[in-house]
Each structure stands twice: as structure tokens, then as C-alpha cells.
Structure 1
């Protein structure tokens, strides 16, 4: 069947109800593009950038008309789905190709004929059920959809809760309308957009030590205090949206407006977020608008009987690497659905922003698979999905309209120019990009002989980014520890971690791993980051890997948990790494050193030394495996007195206490470089230190 976009002319009132105008008008090229001043290397691609901004302007005008904001527009959740009034319940769906819809559930003993929806204009279906008590709290519902003689029970598109039957494992929609509405306590919480995000990436289900699925309540009680104590100011929660397969890590979303019921109730999630805010911690959601689960019975795929209601038809709508469906971002109803989804999560759950998953897959027709993006031309060609870029621009604009202090982060490995520049400059509007090349660099480097580590490559990897754009640096996220790989600590220490992590034991493999674990994290956050991310448990060197229960492992939870007993045992060296992580974060925040450009003072490949300056702090990293330098010369280019304020070799951090914090270093004329003023310091092998001007 030919795809049809049934879109009618609408005024702002109708837009607020969830219907959308039909227009693909675009503005003329020739607009001013600030991105070209920020990055002159983009001038040969001016026409492509003009196309980007023209698409943004044209589609925005088509959607909003005059005088309407995205906040006014993105209200699908306020119209579609279930809504209780004083006289009864309204239930509405958008299913343009369906021939008939019937509401079924506990309330009518699953009768497939008694409650038929009425088809209205523009593919909208509606039914009114008299009586406020006609749909009871926690009652189960589905919608029976008929298309071209075929019929199936489906979960409503805008359902805000879906639950799984423990016996059949089937998912079903559930009415969530408690008598006592959740009362938020975070009215005074203000998410400071200017404060660099120090992110604790987390997964609710695997956050406890028990071999089972953890809950929102357990996370609130047991994990939030740990996060606060370490000094993280942001948590990024994965797998919040309902997904049928637990092992998908939450990336095969089925019900976009439903918080995962595996972990508890909507009110328990609200309580978790509320408590985080009361602790001064903002909460981001790992949002998946890059693809959707292909499942028909649980998800939105073929809801109205067609494969093109939300997605591209045929092979274009299927991601072969992810085995999932791909949204058609050129379709106005899809834009409306996804933008409404963002607004719902921000308003209903008080979220402070989003980390957008799979941005690279979204913005290229080949999803970036196999591309190395080694030239600017690869960003601007027929391979670029301008419609997806336009959607992301709208998403970022909406987020800021709802909460100017909210932040958005792009998971983009391609390095698309303008990803984190303002839309008015020709950018896409994200606040930050994940520095996905840094963990790849580290995991490649630790496999080399220590003498072969390249300091020039290291410095380049940590400090190079797109002009004017902010980056979230990290050593390892959840990706680096998925089954088939290992955490950084386990990659360096391997089987010795099972037997040699006691503080009283001596083991060269463990000593190396602990020293480098601290140094690698410290230089990653301290070199040239605008934010920092760590995956739950990896701050203390969590062993092994992450593997969700599945058929291949006998549905075991052994590797789908966090072993907090390891770090809570003061006789084990995990405790040392945990102490350092907290001290490192507090030091960087207290001194305001994140988002400060470093000034390279000395880089010595042979000696494996990197030294740089931020404000009044001199950072010295000695990556040499064996060589310590009694009088290492570090140029500081000024007269002054300096003192060590933090170092990785402190006893509290499992070090050997070779660096004095009592000694004062006064700048003087250097021997090797007499034209420079600098410091003579003792730099032990495999250590990092910071000297602060006093």
C-alpha cells in the first residue's frame, strides 16, 4: 500500500490537541551561518549547511505556523491516551489506516465488541466511557485493532504504564490513576545549566548486589547516598522506558510514555528523582528516539496495520545491526509523537534533560556503519539524513523552552560539525557531545607495552574537539563492559583480581592496574573536559563484565549486578580506588577546573611525561612504568611558590606515598631550558600530581 501522510490544516488550538498541518515549505538559502566563523574549514560545505537551516525553518513553519511554540505543539500526551474527567474517561488513538478499534480490558471482561471507538478526522479515533470509576486504578487494558481483515490486541500508544504477566510474560497496558497523586518536594531545586555535569551513568535493575532485578526504591535508598558522597552532581538513568526484553539494556523501546514497571511504580520513580533533587543531583534520561523495538504485540510497530505509520517502509525502516525499526523523521506525526514524548518525561517526572542514544545512526542513511569520517565531505553528502537533523534541532529547542537549565547530550561518534552549536548559528543545538573516541583510545592503549604508550597521541585524543563545542569525557561507560569485553580494571588486572586485591598482598600486576586506573581517570577528567561520565561501579574498579540474563547464560544474574561488598570491605583495594574517585571529583569541582582550557607546559615522549596548567594548578603525569625523576624540570613561566595538593600515590588511594605535600617548590631558572622559569620536582613512576600556587 502506498504511504499516505494524512495531515490537515490546523490552528494552534488543534495543534495543542495533537494534530498537525501539512506543509514542507523551506526558506531560501543565503542565511547567515555563524558556524562558518567558528569553523572556517566548513566554507566549502556552505550549501549543505544552508540546507540544514532551511529545513529547520521550513518544517518549523509548517508545524507551528505563526506565534506557536514547540511547547504549545508537543502535547500529544495531553490529548491521546486515557484522560479522566468529572463525567468519565476519554480514550483516543491515532491510527489512520485502521478499519476499526475496540477498547478491551478488565472493565468489560475483555469484550472485543462492546466498546468501539469512533473514527474522527485525520486518523484519530475516540471513545468516551461514562463514570469516573469506569476505569479503575491498576486495571488492565488493550485495544483491539482491525486492518484489512486482520486483527490484533495492541497496547495503547500513549499508555503511561505497561506491566508484564508473570506467567505468560505478555505485556499489557495498565491504568495508572492513584487516588493520592504524588506530591513533589523538589520545588526549590534549580538545575544549574552552567555547572559542568559530573555524570554517574546507571541502570536501576542491575544497581544492587542481589542476583535479581533491583527496584527504584532500592536505588533511592542504597545508591543515591553513594553518588552524593562521591561528589557526582548528575545521574544518567538507562532503560527507563518500557522494553520487552531486559537484556536489550533498554534500547529496544516498546512503550514510549511508560516508565519500566520491572523496577517499580511511576510514583516510586518520581520519589527517586525527587530525592536526587533534594540532594542537589540532577537527573538525565537515556532517551532512545533513534529506533524502536520491532515487536508488534508489545510495541508501536504496525499499530494501525501498516509498516509506515511511524517508520520508513521496507528495508529503509529496518536497522540490520540492531534488529529494530527506524523512525521516519520527515513525517510530521512522528515529530509530534517524539516531541510530545520529551515533554511528557520532563513535566511528568521532572527530568533535567536527556542523553540521546544513537545519534550517529539517526543522522546518516547508512547509520555510520563502517564509516571512518576522516574528511569533512563525509558529513555533507547524500548520505546525510537532513530530516533526522531537523528533528534533533526541534528536540533541543523544545527542551530549552520547557526548562532553560536542562541539558542535552549527543551520543555521536562521527563528530558531525555543529552538533553542539546553537541552532541559530547553523548547529544542531545539543549542549554536549560524548567523547566516544577517548574510551576507544584507552582500551587500545592499555593493550600495548607500557613503553610504547604515545604521549602525543594521548594528548591529542584528550584535548582535540570541534571548535566551540563542549564534550563529556569518559574512560568507560556501560558500552566498554558489555559481555565480550571487560571493565578497564579487569582488562589490566584480569585473573589477579580474584586473588590479589587484599591490601596486605603485594602483586605487580595489581599495582600497575591500580596506578593506571587512577591516572587514566584523572587525566581524562582534568585535561580538557567540559563534563565527565562514569558507569556505576567502575569508579572502584568493578571486576569482570556486564552480561544480562539470557538463554545463552542460563538466564543468570551473576554479571548483571554491582558488587558493593567489594568496595565496602576496607581490607580490599577497591576501597582505595573509590576514595580517589571522590577526591578527584571534589578537587576538580572545588577549584573550578572543568571547562578550563589547559596550557601544555611539557610533553616528553621518551620520559612519558605530560605537564600542563589550569589556572593556578600545575598537573604532572608520569606514565613511565619504571623511571622516577628526582629533579624533573617543569616550566611554569613565572615566579611563584607551589605546593602539592593532590596526588595519585597517596596512601589513602592505595599508593606508596612517595610524594610530599609539605614541601614548597619555588620557581627558578631551569637547567635544561635556562630561558624558562620553572620547578624542579620529584616525579615517581606511574603517578600524577597537582601543584597549586600559594
Structure 2
């Protein structure tokens, strides 16, 4: 194997690769793979710098592709379709003539069309007129597609297809927000293989974030292009060095999502009785992450709450959430258990699961039911395409207690800073007592998941000797009427 700093088989070694090996010496076995990946990255970056004017300019594809106003007047239309034989623009502006406005083929799969202004200076394509790109495939057939760079698309109430509507208002808005969702998954609307691994396809990846609800959507950004941004990764393979600097041979992400944690909680609630919960398995799931690579922990996300599944609170309390959440009613044992477990699950996930914590919208107060977006199967209903944020503000309902717990939990973290501290030292995983205990940021966390037993004078080993005052059990956090006394686990 090559020495540090040397090239192997023509590949460059990351300049700080030795720091990565200090974290995990076993990665030395894969040194050549890290060198190859780093060299490919450097080569592609240099190509982008040379041909596109830098990564930041390259990522601004929205200013180049689609339809944009030309600096010298008229419109500039640009698409990327490397497999097309010809490309045309059609729409209301030309009476839907399929071939009257052809694009000119450029290098790297690009196609370009310039439309000069009309004699009166107005745009060739009026605001809110409909458009389509006509793609001629190699066998001569024509395909009608929406531009993936379309700024505005609409769907008729009686149709499942979307129309591309040209957006060029006479008076521009002062505030404009673009919610990028699933453009990347709709690449079939263009022509060309999705497996084209070249730098013009990289532009597509840089500009199209896969964002369905919040988790998969926690956004992929470009840290070095904007110094204040965070770069987040979603995956479950455990691939080494995802969240290590590029100079070490990593991929430069700041955090990755700890996706297995939320699945574990739902699995326990769906498949296991309370007395059958495996403490060791819970701890393993919460701590199963690579040292030195930051993770974002969360108790639930849209993956759990979408139709076909239920939110965490709804798995715990189900129909009782419709009848027993009023503070004026006698509380049921189902709600007592549900609220207590909801708080325990969130706190142990927050404290043990990672270096950052995510609340899926409504999780902070135990949002009931599920999410479902308008579709043919529900008669295009918006009824479940909502988050009932008002529930936490209603002082006649118990959701306020769950939200107050969330507020207190985050204030406690701000005070002690366990998310910024090294991983916890777990000292107890007692299967019989259903107790988990660990130390992090100078705090001793002790969780009792036993469905029936409480413990006094419970003996726990600690790493740092001293007196440990209570911070949670004194705070009225378990349940207003049925909370356990301070000092009782």
C-alpha cells in the first residue's frame, strides 16, 4: 500500500487521510477506494471549474435552463436532453405547431433556442400561456414533455396530468418562495438515461432536491458554496466517512439522518407488548452510529405518519385520542400510558440517539392520526393533508402537556448541551427491570420502561462520582395527575 500523501495506481490520496485512520484504523484496508473516490472528485471539480466557471455558478442551473429572459432582449430557452435527435418548443404562442421552433444542439447534451421579442417589444410567449417541449427520439417518434425547469405547472381538476404554464408576470413579486419537491424523481419527463454519470447530469443532481415531507426532505445543500448552510445526508447503509471532511477522504456532509430509530419505535409499538421490549436492542439502535460522524435523531417522521401507518401518538393511544384528551374528563389508562411513553421515547431519543434532534411537525405535542394527500383513492380529499397545530394551544386538551414537555426537554439540552457532547456511556440495560441508564454531558439519565414496576433507591453505577440533583422528575413532566414522586424511578 502507498504511504500517506502518496498516489496509488495514479490516484491521489486525500491530504488528511491519516486523520480518518486515527478514528478508524480498519479503513486502511480500503485506502485505494478512498484514493480513487477522492481523485474522481478532484477531477470532476476541476472540470466544472474550467468549463462552467465554478461550482456555485454551475449549481445555478435555474438561471440557464428552462426559459429565462435574455440580457439583450427576448427569451433564452435551454434544455438538457443528450439522447434526443431533435428538440422543439410548442404551445399557445405558436398555435401548437410541433416543429416550427427548433432548438439548436450544443455540447454536453444541451439544446438552446432564442426567441426575439415581438415588434412592439413584448414577449413572444405571453404570461400564463401553456407550453411543451417536443422531443424527437432516434426512431423518429415525438414525445411531448414538460420542462423539468418549468417554474409553474398546474393540473386541471378532471385530469391527472400537469400543464406547463409560462410564468412571466408584468410586475414581479417582491417575495417569492419555491418549494422544490420531487423533480429528481420525475426525470422521465426528459429524454436520456438517468444513469448518465457525467458533469452535466451532476448539474441536475445539484439543482433538484428530493424532498417529500420533512425528513427526505431535510434538504441536500452545498456547504462550501454557502458557508452558513448545512449539508445533510439520508441513508441507512452505515457507509464510512460520509460525515467527514473531503480532505480526509470523506464526503463532506455535516450530519446524516439516523433513520432506523423511528422505525424501531414503531416496530415495538406494532409488534411487541410492553413487557417484551428488549432494552439492549433499543440501546443498540440508538447508539449504532460511527464515531466522529454526526447524526440527527428523531422519534418519528413522515415515513411513519403517512397513510397506511399512524403517528407515534396514535399508535400509543389510538381512538382514545378522540375521547380522552380533555383535561376535564377522567383520564383513561390508555392515555396515561400513551403520554408517559411518548415523553420517554422522545427524551431517550434526544439524549442518546445522536448529535442533533428533529421534531417532525406535530410530534412535539403528539399529533394524532396520519397524513394523506389528495388522490383518487380518497376522492382528492385534503382532510388528512394537514397538521392540527391548534391542538397544542387548546388549554382544555392534554396535548399542551406533551408540548410543555418538549419545551422543557429542549431547554434542558440548551442548559447542559448533551447534543454537542461525546456519545453517552451506557451503564445499565436491565432486561428484567426494563431500565436503561447512561451518562452524557455530566447528566445521569435513568429510564424505567417497565409497564408496572417503580423503583426506590435503585442502584446504578456511575462514571463520575458526586451528587446528582433531579432535573426531570421534579418538573411535572411525566403526567399531571399520575406523575411519580421525585426520586422514584
Deviation of 1:56 (Å): 1.9
CA distance in 2 between partners of 1:177 and 1:355 (Å): 32
Deviation of 1:583 (Å): 2.0
Partner of 1:377: none
| 2:288 is aligned with 1:464 | yes
Partner of 1:516: 341
Q: Secondary structure at the match of 1:172?
A: strand
> Can you list the C-alpha shifts for 1:289-320, whole angstroms capped at 9, x where unaligned?
5xx23xxxxxx42634xxxx2x2xxxxxxxxx
> Can you list the C-alpha shifts for 1:455-499, whole angstroms capped at 9, x where unaligned?
333222222311210001111111012233222222222333333
Deviation of 1:451 (Å): 2.8
| 2:454 is aligned with 1:628 | yes
Equivalent runs, 1:607-626 vs 2, <5 Å: 607-626=433-452
The one of 460, 469, 482 aligned to 1:643: 469
Partner of 1:9: none
Partner of 1:92: 78
CA distance in 2 between partners of 1:64 and 1:78 (Å): 18
CA separation of 1:42/1:622 partners in 2, compared to 1, >3 Å: closer, same or farther? same
CA distance in 2 between partners of 1:340 and 1:560 (Å): 27
Q: Secondary structure at the match of 1:145?
A: strand
CA separation of 1:625/1:340 partners in 2, compared to 1, >3 Å: closer, same or farther? closer
Aligned-residue RMSD, C-alpha: 3.4
Contact 2:339/2:479, CA 8 A, preserved across alignment: no
Deviates more, 1:619-628 or 1:632-641: 632-641
Partner of 1:413: 236
The one of 123, 128, 136 aligned to 1:138: 128
The one of 249, 257, 273 aligned to 1:434: 257
CA distance in 2 between partners of 1:493 and 1:602 (Å): 29
CA distance in 1 between partners of 2:474 and 2:336 (Å): 12
Q: Secondary structure at the match of 2:308?
A: coil
Structure showing the higher strand proportion among its residues: 1
CA distance in 1 between partners of 2:26 and 2:387 (Å): 46
| 2:179 is aligned with 1:240 | yes
Partner of 2:488: 683
Partner of 1:105: 91
CA distance in 2 between partners of 1:460 and 1:113 (Å): 61
Q: Secondary structure at the match of 2:293?
A: coil
Partner of 1:154: 145
Partner of 2:367: 542
CA distance in 1 between partners of 2:175 and 2:415 (Å): 30
| 2:227 is aligned with 1:404 | yes
CA separation of 1:422/1:117 partners in 2, compared to 1, >3 Å: closer, same or farther? same
Deviation of 1:176 (Å): 2.5
Deviation of 1:639 (Å): 6.5
Equivalent runs, 1:214-225 vs 2, <5 Å: none
Q: Secondary structure at the match of 2:342?
A: helix
Partner of 1:482: 306
CA separation of 1:480/1:537 partners in 2, compared to 1, >3 Å: closer, same or farther? same
Structure 1 runs not aligned, ≥5 long? 1-25, 186-215, 217-238, 242-249, 257-288, 294-299, 312-326, 346-350, 360-394, 661-681, 685-694
> Can you list the C-alpha shifts for 1:612-633, whole angstroms capped at 9, x where unaligned?
3333433222222222223233
CA separation of 1:458/1:153 partners in 2, compared to 1, >3 Å: closer, same or farther? closer
CA separation of 1:604/1:303 partners in 2, compared to 1, >3 Å: closer, same or farther? closer
| 2:404 is aligned with 1:579 | yes
Partner of 1:502: 326
Deviation of 1:408 (Å): 1.9
Partner of 2:11: 28
| 2:322 is aligned with 1:337 | no
CA distance in 2 between partners of 1:436 and 1:613 (Å): 23
Contact 2:132/2:146, CA 8 A, preserved across alignment: yes
Tell me how many residue pairs correspond in the alignment: 468
Partner of 2:3: none
CA distance in 2 between partners of 1:63 and 1:651 (Å): 54
Equivalent runs, 1:15-414 vs 2, <5 Å: 27-28=10-11, 33-34=17-18, 35-65=20-50, 69-84=54-69, 85-123=71-109, 124-131=111-118, 133-134=122-123, 135-147=125-137, 148-183=139-174, 240-241=179-180, 253=182, 256=183, 289=184, 292-293=185-186, 300-301=187-188, 303-304=190-191, 309=192, 311=193, 327-328=194-195, 330-341=197-208, 399-414=222-237
CA distance in 1 between partners of 2:85 and 2:465 (Å): 82
> Can you list the C-alpha shifts for 1:82-110, whole angstroms capped at 9, x where unaligned?
22135222222233444443333333343
Structure 2 runs not aligned, ≥5 long? 1-8
CA distance in 2 between partners of 1:36 and 1:357 (Å): 32
TM-score of the pair, normalised by structure 1: 0.61
CA distance in 1 between partners of 2:173 and 2:351 (Å): 40
Deviation of 1:509 (Å): 1.9
CA distance in 2 between partners of 1:96 and 1:638 (Å): 63
Deviates more, 1:105-114 or 1:423-432: 105-114
CA distance in 2 between partners of 1:523 and 1:436 (Å): 15
Deviation of 1:429 (Å): 1.8
CA separation of 1:570/1:467 partners in 2, compared to 1, >3 Å: closer, same or farther? same
> Can you list the C-alpha shifts for 1:396-449, whole angstroms capped at 9, x where unaligned?
6xx123211211221101111111111221212211111112122222333423
CA separation of 1:456/1:68 partners in 2, compared to 1, >3 Å: closer, same or farther? same
CA distance in 1 between partners of 2:77 and 2:10 (Å): 38
Deviation of 1:334 (Å): 0.8
Deviates more, 1:592-601 or 1:641-650: 641-650
Contact 2:148/2:189, CA 8 A, preserved across alignment: no
Deviation of 1:59 (Å): 3.1
